[in-house]
Amino acid sequence: MELVGILIIIIGFALKLDTIAVVVTAGITTGLVAHMSIGDILSTLGDAFVTNRTTCLFMLIVPIIGLCERYGLKSKAVMLIKKASNLSTGILLSGYTLVREVTIAMGVTLGGHPQFVRPLVSPMAEGAAIAKYGELDQEDLDKIKAYSAAS
Q: Count up the domains in the chain and report the number.
A: 2
- Cα distance between residue 130 and residue 145, in whole Å: 13
> What pLDDT shows up at residue 59?
64
Q: Domain range spanning residue 39?
A: 4-51
> What pLDDT shows up at residue 93?
83
- Cα distance between residue 128 and residue 119, in whole Å: 15
* C-alpha Rg value of the chain to the nearest Å: 23
CB atoms within 10 A of CB 101: 10
Q: For the chain (length 151 residues), average pLDDT per consecutive 10?
A: 85 85 88 91 82 65 73 74 75 83 77 61 80 82 78 62
Residues 119 and 69 sit within 8 Å (Cβ to Cβ): yes
**End-to-end Cα, the chain, rounded Å:** 49
> What pLDDT shows up at residue 111?
61
Q: Identify the burial level of 93 via C-beta atoms within 10 angstroms of its C-beta, where 0-12 means exposed, 13-18 middle and 19 or more buried.
A: buried
67 and 126 housed in the same domain: yes
What is the value of pTM for the model shown? 0.43
81 and 143 housed in the same domain: yes
DSSP class of residue 135?
S
98 and 116 housed in the same domain: yes
